[in-house]
Amino acid sequence: MLLKNLSSLTLGALYAASGAFADSSSSSSSLPPIEVAGNKFFYSNNGSQFYIQGIAYQADTVNGSAGDDINDPLADYSTCSRDIPYLKKLNTNVVRVYAVNTTLDHSKCMEALAENDIYVIADLSIPGKSVDRTDPQWNVELYERYTGVVDAFANYTNVLGFFAGNEVTNNASNTDASAFVKAAVRDVKKYISDKDYRKIPVGYSSNDDEDTRVPMADYFACGDSDVKADFYGINMYEWCGDSNFQTSGYKDRTADFKNLSIPIFFSEYGCNAVKPRKFSEVQTLYGSNMTDVWSGGIVYMYFEEDNGYGLVSVENNNVKTLSDFENLSSQMAKIKPSVAKNSSYTAQSTSLSCPASQKYWKANTKLPPTPSKDLCGCMHDSLSCVVNTDKIDEDKYGDLFGYVCSQVDCDGITADGKNGSYGTYSFCSAEEQLSFVLNLYYQKNGKQSSACDFKGSASLQKATTQSACSSALKQIGSSGTGSASSSVSVSSSGSGSGSNSKSSSNGDSSSSSSSSKGSSTAGAKEKNLALGSKASLSQVILSFVATLGVVAGAGFAMA
């Protein structure tokens, strides 16, 4: 039987019960945390180098839009305890999970994994809740999702780290999205520090696109320690069938990343263009040609599904090992990578220059602001003209955005990762953002009641400003493009809309899952993970300004 299907839990329910389990507060079993030094991982207790010998471990994760279910492999003890002996036969010391349900109890599985010397790398996103390459945002909704995962797992010492994104930028056309993922890395690291959790590494998992692979790694590895990623993974499918270090592409990739200043590893590998997989690349990956640069890898994947990447099949709760399993087990049993000691290790490179803008790389080093739910609530409460949520649904916001932003400056709510320009309220919900620009329109038109109507889609409210909000709102200014000198924290009794307004809608085009792969091709650079998403705010504004700006009525009667 596959991992229990969480059919009764929609994504909405995942957040409704946040904090239902404080399952990371204690653990009867512990492993020494893994630490980062230079481009290597080390055991914190004895300073020996740690190589990732990993397996992607997640079955039947729905790769879809918001409202679909996920299958959390760390929340079903009957299944994880069944599978751990098989993971041990593969010499597994890391499992990667792509989606977790923060409302469930993970303590039994996490302790069982720890007792068997197995660490976890968990993706912070879920399908429908990640940075979307077609509509990149780093907003309050995502911030709360990502930090919620941190809260659920931070106190398990066998959490090796977190992925803040997976294949978000997948070619040169969407490199701007990487600015939003790097902002997530920055803010999750700060959240971990502010909460006084142990220093848990936060990294990124990329695809292997020939145009962007090097500048993208440099981009995530560059900058100050509080901004850059702690580690970097590449989903690598260049070695297919019988190959070798030179012809597979591994030699070239090792040369590409020899100067990377943070640990790099294969966050997925195991091309299945030739079956059965012999996994001959294992000896090379953990051999002398690669271990100076690479820290191991994660085989895709444990469960057999339609994509044909499985190591085992499961039927009626019975596990059957496949030929790929036996081949991998044999290969892993033979590896003997050289092991450095942290005490005698000196990193060859400790810093890296950020990549310059060029033909294939356009992500700005200036990152989006840190989302603040309280600030969004302060802003919304200070407005006189706001969205009438009783009369208009969020899927109809596009028309209003398009018309209003053809009449007023909407820079305060837009974000551009290419140019590095971000409105102060670009992280707020769609309702809050629309209310902000409706209020600008209302003010521009003499604060006449007819300028806050739009056939009932907008209405007047009594504007209020809490004392905790006053200074920040003044510094930000009426256009929403200034910056506050300090963060805002308002009392829970305040009327801020941050806790009441609809969540912003940003579809997911980048969150990978265990079911995301189709059949492999010889090139093995597949995995177009594009999922359905709503049009981005920027796209809405650009498309509607050109049309609705010249049609003043646009279906909205002002009187």
Task: Kindly tell me the number of DSSP H helices and DSSP E strands found in the chain.
Answer: 14, 17
Q: What angle do CA 156, 158, 164 make, to 5 degrees?
A: 85
46 and 123 in a common domain: yes
Q: Report the distance separating Cα 339 and Cα 464, nearest Å.
A: 62
Structural domain includes residue 249 = yes
Q: Report the distance separating Cα 131 and Cα 184, nearest Å.
A: 9
Listing DSSP states for 146-207 in one string gives: HHHHHHHHTT-TTEEEEEEEESSS-SGGGTTHHHHHHHHHHHHHHHHHHTT-----EEEEE-
Residue 76 has a pLDDT of 94
The interaxial angle of helices 213-221 and 177-194, nearest 10 deg, is 30
Q: Report the distance separating Cα 464 and Cα 267, nearest Å.
A: 49
Residue 70 has a pLDDT of 81
For residue 528, the SS3 value is coil
110 and 222 in a common domain: yes
340 and 383 in a common domain: no
339 and 281 in a common domain: yes
Assess whether 394 carries a catalytic annotation: no
Residue 349 has a pLDDT of 80
Expressed as residue numbers, the domain containing 314 is 34-344
Domain boundary among 476, 502, 525: 476
264 and 216 in a common domain: yes
> Based on the structure, what is the number of domains in the chain?
2
Structural domain includes residue 516 = no
394 and 267 in a common domain: no
232 and 288 in a common domain: yes
| Measured distance between the N- and C-terminal CA atoms of the chain, rounded to whole angstroms | 62
What's the distance, CA 420 to chain centroid?
20
Q: pTM of the predicted model, to two decimals?
A: 0.87
304 and 415 in a common domain: no
Contact call for residues 147 and 191 (beta carbons, < 8 A): yes
203 and 111 in a common domain: yes
Q: Which residues have C-beta within 8 Å of that of residue 513, sequence separation ≥ 6? A: 58, 61, 62, 63, 70, 98, 99, 127
Diameter over CA atoms, the chain: 78
For residue 270, the SS3 value is coil
Structural domain includes residue 17 = no
517: part of which helix (H) or strand (E)? Answer: none
Contact call for residues 197 and 205 (beta carbons, < 8 A): no
Domain boundary among 440, 455, 476: 476
Residue 314 has a pLDDT of 96
Residues in the chain: 559
Domain boundary among 423, 458, 476: 476
Contact call for residues 112 and 80 (beta carbons, < 8 A): yes
Structural domain includes residue 498 = no
Structural domain includes residue 482 = no
Q: Which residues have C-beta within 8 Å of that of residue 274, sequence separation ≥ 6? A: 240, 241, 242
Q: Report the distance separating Cα 435 and Cα 430, nearest Å.
A: 8
Structural domain includes residue 150 = yes
Structural domain includes residue 111 = yes
257 and 169 in a common domain: yes
Closest by Cα among 230, 211, 311 to 269:
311
424 and 316 in a common domain: no
For residue 361, the SS3 value is strand
> What are the average pLDDT values for consecutive 10-residue runs of the chain, which has 559 residues?
34 36 50 97 98 93 48 95 98 97 96 98 95 97 98 98 98 98 98 98 98 98 97 98 97 97 98 97 98 98 96 96 98 97 91 95 98 97 97 93 97 98 98 98 97 96 95 97 88 46 39 43 35 43 43 40
Q: Which of 35, 268, 304, 431 is catalytic?
A: 268
Residue 9 has a pLDDT of 35
Assess whether 210 carries a catalytic annotation: no
329 and 212 in a common domain: yes
Structural domain includes residue 508 = no
Residue 48 has a pLDDT of 98
Q: Which of 141, 167, 238, 432 is catalytic?
A: 167
For residue 432, the SS3 value is helix
Q: ω into residue 332 within 30 of 0, thus cis?
A: no
